[in-house]
């Protein structure tokens, strides 16, 4: 909802299978955002699996105190607040391709 209020179009996936289906159907995205409720090890696996299907950068919202997921292109702590999340989204989208 926060990203939509900031003017972004959002496609939600409520699990690994749904994310894979969305990415493999030919849709293109500017950014993939992984929420803080997803366990860190699952985020690493999801990035490794999604990279071939979706070329978009990945932003990980970390649980407070967690280390960043090394496979993600950017991350933000869940306690950082809305302004830092929006700044991280803008930065990740604007970053040159890896």
Q: Are 88 and 74 in contact (CB under 8 A)?
A: yes
Question: 62 - beta bridge partners?
Answer: 77
What is the model's pLDDT at position 77?
A: 94
Q: Give the mean pLDDT of 1-5.
A: 91
Which of these ranges, 3-12, 39-48, 68-77, 85-94, has the smallest mean pLDDT?
Answer: 39-48
Q: What is the DSSP string of 30-97?
A: S-EEE-TTS-HHHHHHHHHHHTTT--S-EEEEEPTTPPPPTTSSEEEETTS-HHHHHHHHHHHHHSPP
Q: What is the average pLDDT across 17-37?
A: 84
Indicate the number of domains in the chain.
1
Domain of 61: which CATH number? 3.40.50.2300
- Per residue in 53-94, pLDDT (tens digit) is 788 899 999 999 888 989 899 999 999 999 999 999 999 998
Task: Give the residue numbers spanning the domain of 39.
Answer: 2-94
The secondary element (H helix, E strand) that includes residue 12 is none
């Amino acid at each position: 909802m926060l990203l939509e209020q900031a003017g972004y179009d959002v496609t939600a996936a409520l699990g690994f299978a749904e994310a894979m289906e969305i990415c493999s159907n030919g849709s293109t995205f500017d950014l993939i955002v992984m929420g803080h409720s997803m366990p860190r090890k699952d985020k690493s696996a999801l990035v490794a699996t999604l990279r071939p299907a979706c070329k978009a950068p990945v932003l990980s919202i970390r649980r407070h105190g967690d280390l960043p997921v090394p496979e993600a292109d950017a991350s933000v702590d869940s306690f950082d607040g809305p302004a830092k999340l929006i700044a991280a989204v803008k930065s990740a989208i604007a970053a040159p391709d890896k």
